[in-house]
Structure 1
Amino acid sequence: MYTTLREHLFPGDGKEAAAILICTRTPGSALKLLSKELILVPYEECTVRQPHTITWPGAYLEKAIDEALPQSRSIILVHSHPGGLFQFSGVDDESDSGTMVSLFQGVEAIHGSAIMTPDGAMRARVYHGGGSPEDIAMVTVPGDDIHYWFPDSSEQQTVLAFTSGMTTTIGHLTAAVIGVSGTGSIVAEQLTRLGFGRLILIDHDQVEHKNLNRILNSTQKDAKDSRAKVDVFADAIEQIRGSKIAQAINKTVFSREAVVAVADADVIFCCVDSHQGRLICDLMASSFLVPLFDVGVTIPTRLSSKGVRQIHDVQGRIDYVRPGGSTLFDRSVYTAQSLSAEELRNTDPKAHSEQVKQGYISGIPEEAPSVITLNMRAASACVNEFIARAFPFREDPNHSYARSKFSLSGCYEEYEAESALPKSENPALAQGAQEPLLGLPPLGAV
């Protein structure tokens, strides 16, 4: 949608062009608009098209109102600034004063306008009723590269990775870490020290003695007191960064509270070991248009010719899922069969022993695997994948790295491009606050 919009707004003739975005909203109290539909205003139907002004038929406003009205969606009027001005001009203000009245009369919702400059940067503002405009704090496009634009600067693309400028940009962002255990605690530690403005931690489990060897910041006392993993890590974040950075949610991600919280995030890090958990993260990424980074590790074993159990490989996998691209389901990270099998195990009295067999080391009932080094390697690769997307530094385009795998046994890494992965139609895209959330009845409003 962004690519189509940019191509339309800059046809190469140096004149302004216009389009309309129909947007849904995320659940929760924060104002976050999600582009759901795009209406292009044909060049030949504009009565005026000049380098600094444009006038187009009211019929397209009526069309937008008709599209937005059934579900009270927001309408954002977009036009180009071919000269590169990253501000709303006096002409823009005057135009909005008339058109916003028509929009509010047609649809009771929050409406606004946006501009785009030739480098693709966008700036947006909204109107609440008939009041003054309010800047949208950030416009983001999570494609192969993840773009962020703020009202005070269009130069995000010049920020170098691993610099203080990157820290400043990251300070505007909220990350959700789903699963704060072996891999997730390491991911959360890195995000904390990178300077994310907010961290949403989601995990329903408590600290036990058996996992002290791989959960950062956990202690003997935490295990003795059976403290929630998210509370332990939130306390650590407060010691490192101060208060009001961490939001701890001691519930499964398959809960309405968790899903509503994640809707506020700008990036999701999926560090769970369950298929259902990955399903929910997949649906949240699509429904709320949030980039998703999924990390997994495994140590498959095999029997030797003498019947001795041996390590077959030591593996890690990182998948980057961009909204509108190939999903974790498309990539068979989880399947309908794996979801059914997992549900069966969870309801079977022998589920615990079976889950242990399906843990880090296949075929070995190991409850306290010594895997922190493997987890560190995978977690670092996962967070570096985010940095590479938001602050590109690789020699090759990010498109080539939709999935990466490494083998510590074989000492190799391999990558798959977005174009090489299967992709199906995704009806969940930009569903936002539509009930039931994520299309799942158990997550519906009470």
Structure 2
Amino acid sequence: MIPETTLALSCVLHERIQSHLFPGDGLEAAAILLCARTPGPRLRLLVRDVVLIPHEACQRRERDGINWPGAYIEEAIDHGDSERLALVLIHSHPGGLFAFSELDDESDQNVLPGVFNAFGDLHGSAIMIPSGAIMARIYEADLIAKPVDLVTVASHDLSYWWEVDARLTGSSRRPVAFTSGMVDELGRLSAAVVGVSGTGSVVAEQLCRLGFGHIKLIDFDRIEHRNLNRILNSKLSDVDVRRLKVEMFTDAVAGYRGDGVAEAVPASVLTREAVLAASQSDVLFCCVDTLEARQIADLLAAAFLIPLLDVGVVIPTRKGDEGAAIADVCGRIDYVQPGRSSLQDRGVYTPESLRAEYLQRAAPEAHRQEREAGYIKGLIEEAPAVITLNMRAAAACVNEFIARAYPFRLEPNHLYARTEFSLAACEEEYVAEEAFVPSANPILGRGALEPLLGLPVLRPARVGASR
């Protein structure tokens, strides 16, 4: 079952919080998380910032107890009230108890009424153990605790800490890759696939058959005859009625997974509808062929703290003695963790390339040759025979997710921020996260704050406004 409530942290903030809560003296420490939200229906609390309680400011710090001055709650309230953020009070359990104690319960009942009197309709508390695992719970004004189903951190590895697992087993152990345990956990996760065409249909098929509990399929395009050689599950009958790709694929998935697993979102990722749909997901797969759509996926991942996997393929050509010849057959997979380098930081798109793409779309007379938009650079191919390349890239993309969520590599995952392969040269190269320089990201953890993604074009339409 997909979790109703989630607490998501960026890798950078999680590392900062863990370092503060476990300074090495074996005593409890505390902090306050300031959390934005997704628009719903799932409640995803997104840790946007943190107030660290100085160790020396605490009246008492012991192995199993802590007291700290209320001035820091006032600081958090001042910070959170303007944007209606939720406050989550977090402290460490140096002894490793992965559960709330009776003292924790009493503390919440004493402290949280004052927070609710100040502002807000939702706040919470959390504990962290030395491994970095977090358990959280939320309260409304009635002060009845409700467990947060899932706490997740997208770092070099993907961490998922489930309340039900901790309650039943008392641990935060993770399943092993490629096992039934992995399948069971995937059944509790939601994915979004942006672009359900040549590469995206292969990614989506793998996610569905791996067992993801819910997959949102985002694409506005319709099936054409030229698509039949590379879009999985597409048929001649779909071409006859110009069926939406996402509707075709959703019906196909229902045939082997049942209804409700795949959800069609027949919209461009450049629309509010698609952004809101994707914001509900636990992982985002970008399988598009435009830079603008990649930019939106990049912003979406940062704003809603969702790990992003971006896949692209290309076949460069060269001039041969008898015309165009294949120069290479390439694929690229980028894993992006919110808080570290973005697709823009990695040069996947730039302001200049976005502008050039816009001109190509808006002023086709200035770009009579549209060859650069296709798979094969330098050749105009109506129905390129690229399904084998798409499958190679799509499999690498989904395996990258598995490697992050259920680590199995012999080397650490931070060495594999980008994978590039050349079928012509029979080579595969990897780029470490440290090779990219991250820039400041003002929308990190922004959540549902309007305008979405900081883009005025995504503001809600005014009732009665004319188009």
TM-score between the two structures when normalised by the length of structure 2: 0.93
Query: Which residue of structure 1 aligns with residue 425 of structure 2?
Result: 410
The answer as to 2:69 corresponding to 1:60 is no
> 230, 245, 256: which one pairs with 1:240?
256
1:342 aligns with 2:354: no
Equivalent position of 1:281 in the other structure: 297
2:149·2:164 contact (CA, 8 Å) conserved in 1? no
Instruction: For 1:84-103, list aligned pairs within 5 A.
Output: 84-103=96-115
In 1: Cα distance, 2:177 partner to 2:444 partner? 30
Give the drift of 1:289.
0.6
| 8 Å CA contact retained: 2:315, 2:377 | yes
Q: Is the contact between residue 316 and residue 326 of structure 2 (CA under 8 Å) also seen in structure 1?
A: yes
**Structure 2 Cα separation of the partners of residues 412 and 352 of structure 1:** 34
Hey, what does 1:6 align to over in structure 2? 18
Task: Give me the whole-angstrom Cα distance separating, in 1, the residues matched to 2:138 and 2:203.
Answer: 35
Tell me, yes or no, if the aligned pair for 1:17 and 1:43 is still in contact at 8 Å.
Answer: yes
Match among 37, 42, 49 for residue 37 of structure 1: 49
For 1:419, the equivalent position in structure 2 comes to 434
Counterpart-to-counterpart distance in 2, 1:100 and 1:181: 49
Pick the aligned partner of 1:252 from 254, 257, 268. 268
Kindly tell me: are residues 196 and 229 of structure 1, through their superposed partners in 2, closer, same or farther at Cα, counting changes over 3 Å?
A: same
Q: 1:356 touches 1:367 (CA, 8 Å); kept in 2?
A: no
Q: How many residues align?
A: 445
Matches within 5 A, 1:145-164: 145-154=157-166, 155=171, 157-164=173-180
State how far apart, in whole Å, the 1-side matches of 2:439 and 2:82 are: 27
Query: Which residue matches 2:410?
Result: 395
Letter in 2 for 1:339: L
Separation (CA, whole Å) in 1 of partners of 2:365 and 2:410? 50
What is the aligned-residue identity percentage?
Answer: 54
Per the alignment, residue 366 of structure 1 pairs with 381
Is 2:183 the partner of 1:179? no
Tell me the equivalent position of 2:6: none
2:144 corresponds, among 113, 132, 138, to 132
Q: Is 2:201 the counterpart of 1:189?
A: no
Contact kept? 1:161, 1:387, Cα under 8 Å: yes
RMSD over equivalenced CA pairs, Å: 1.4
Which residue identity is paired with 1:11?
Answer: P
Residues of 1 paired with 2:371 and 2:213: CA distance? 36
* C-alpha deviation, 1:348, in angstroms: 2.8
The answer for the alignment partner of 2:330 in structure 1 is 315
CA contact (8 A) 2:192 2:216 kept: yes
> How far apart are 1:357 and its partner, in Å?
4.6
Contact 2:109 2:143 in 1 (8 A): no
Cα displacement (A) at 1:117: 1.0
Q: 1:325 aligns with which of 340, 362, 370?
A: 340
Pairwise CA distance, 1:108: 1.7
Q: Displacement of 1:349 after TM fit?
A: 4.5
1:219 pairs with 222, 235, 238, which one?
235
Q: Is the 8 A contact 1:74 1:111 kept in 2?
A: yes
Cα deviations across residues 273-295 of structure 1 (Å, max 9, x unaligned)?
A: 00110010000011101000000
Cα deviation digits, residues 165-219 of structure 1 (max 9, x gap): 1111111111000000000000000000111111010001000011100000000
**CA deviations over 1:293-345 (Å, ceiling 9, x no partner):** 000000000002x3521000000000011001111111111111221111112
Length-normalised TM-score, structure 1: 0.97
Query: Equivalent residue of 2:198, what SS?
Result: coil
Q: Offset at 1:439?
A: 0.9
Q: For residues 147 and 354 of structure 1, what CA distance do their matches in structure 2 show?
A: 46
